[in-house]
Amino acid sequence: MINMAVRVLIVDDSGFFRKRLTEIISSDPRLLVVGTASNGKQAIEQAKKLKPDVITMDIEMPEMDGITATKHIMSEQPTAILMLSTWSTAGAKTTLDALEAGAVDYMPKQFEDISSDRAIAQQRLCQRLRHLAINFRKPHAAQANTETVVLNNKIISTQNTATTNPIKLVAIGTSTGGPVALQKVLSQLPANFPHPILIIQHMPAAFTPSFAERLNTQCAINIKQADDGDVLTPGTAYLAPGGKQMLISNSKNRPQIKLQDSQPDQTYHPSIDITLNSVAQIFPADTLAIILTGMGSDGKQGCQTLKQLGATIWSQDEQSSTIYGMPMAIAKARLADRILSLTDIGQQLAEIK
């Protein structure tokens, strides 16, 4: 797709919004709007006919909603789908439904929620569409129990590397594709899992309460959105609230969660690096850090710090990643003790004592 325009299909029941999106996307020479659709049925037909690289998908539409359309498209013509939704509690629930249906990512339909500067908001939308189209991997069955991992024709890790130190804390960082990946990993853990878990998922503040509630209903362990002052307890996973930074404070005997407001110069809120650097102060050698699917390299610097202190690092493999960005950064830096499929991560995490 290098040097070729990314082909975009726009799906929305509002003619005004379709026109507005077409104008915005067409302003970027790297993107090409190849078609539009006003409902889910048309979206399925257009996806088959036009074979776009990426689709913007509305959720509520007549005849067929965006979630149903997403299920059909991902089963018949897997394509990177970006959901455009309202950033509210109700919007969060339907967006999470869309992600479970196969959508890759989401952005607010109100561009003011992206940035108060309209030009910046439009630029970010175009950039996201291009990145999703280029980095999207079509879903397929994960291959479990692979003995070696190859990157750039070189074996860089094996799945059988022994954990060097006893584990007392697990920290999982993820971004694009993370909601589904987290559900697949955490649902494999028993209710009596012996360690606390920190979850850092790039997600807006309006979404994280609903996401924590959803995960809690899907998993045997207890999962909650982290509150300031929470004392870490075994068998509980703490999801970093959107818009905040989650740190660990106090001591190893009584570790507590400390939430901080994000600063303007911080790209991610929550940030995986910030949490991992905090973890390194309390659990330098007895942490297991796991980096799952996502764009960018958030988590790499924090894993480097932990690795130097003796911690254990796992990363998701390319084949099972929706977007092989963050895990690839870990693999290329040779930080991973194990590079595992999503299925293997859950299974091997469940075996930790």
CATH number of the domain where residue 273 is located: 3.40.50.180
pTM of the predicted protein model: 0.91
* Cβ within 8 Å of residue 154, ≥6 positions away: none
Are residues 179 and 318 part of one domain?
A: yes
> Total domain count for the chain?
2
Selecting among 72, 131, 195, 202, the annotated active-site residue is: 202
- On whether the CB atoms of residues 282 and 300 are closer than 8 A, the answer is no
DSSP H helices, the chain, are: 15-26, 40-50, 66-76, 89-101, 118-135, 178-186, 208-218, 272-282, 300-308, 326-332, 342-350
Residue whose C-alpha is closest to residue 246's, from 211, 273, 225, 270: 270
Residue whose C-alpha is closest to residue 128's, from 30, 44, 36: 30
Q: What is the pLDDT along the chain (353 residues), one digit of tens a residue?
A: 556 899 999 999 999 999 999 999 999 999 999 999 999 999 999 999 999 999 999 999 999 999 999 999 999 999 999 999 887 778 889 999 999 999 999 999 887 777 778 899 999 999 999 999 999 987 754 444 444 454 543 444 444 444 457 899 999 999 999 999 999 999 999 999 999 999 999 999 999 999 999 999 999 999 999 999 999 999 999 999 999 999 999 888 899 999 999 888 888 999 999 999 999 999 999 999 999 999 999 999 999 999 999 999 999 999 999 999 999 999 999 999 999 999 999 999 999 98
Q: Is 230 a catalytic residue?
A: no
Question: What is the structure's pLDDT at 265?
Answer: 85
Residue 140 lies in a domain: no
Selecting among 175, 271, 315, 320, the annotated active-site residue is: 175
Question: What is the structure's pLDDT at 138?
Answer: 79
Selecting among 53, 298, 317, 337, the annotated active-site residue is: 298
Judged by phi (left if over 0) then psi (alpha if -120 to 50, else beta), residue 334 lies in left
Residue 1 lies in a domain: no
Question: What is the structure's pLDDT at 143?
Answer: 47
Question: What is the structure's pLDDT at 88?
Answer: 72
Are residues 181 and 237 part of one domain?
A: yes
- On whether the CB atoms of residues 322 and 163 are closer than 8 A, the answer is no
Distance from C-alpha of 192 to C-alpha of 350, rounded to nearest angstrom: 10
Two tokens at 328?
Answer: 């690839």
The CATH number that applies at residue 51 is 3.40.50.2300
Question: What is the structure's pLDDT at 86?
Answer: 82
Are residues 171 and 85 part of one domain?
A: no
Distance from C-alpha of 115 to C-alpha of 166, rounded to nearest angstrom: 44
Torsion of CA 27, 30, 31, 34, to 10 degrees: 110
Are residues 201 and 122 part of one domain?
A: no
Two tokens at 27?
Answer: 């302003």
For 240, the domain range is 148-350
Q: Is 228 a catalytic residue?
A: no
Are residues 181 and 323 part of one domain?
A: yes
Residue 141 lies in a domain: no
Q: Is 131 a catalytic residue?
A: no
Are residues 165 and 124 part of one domain?
A: no
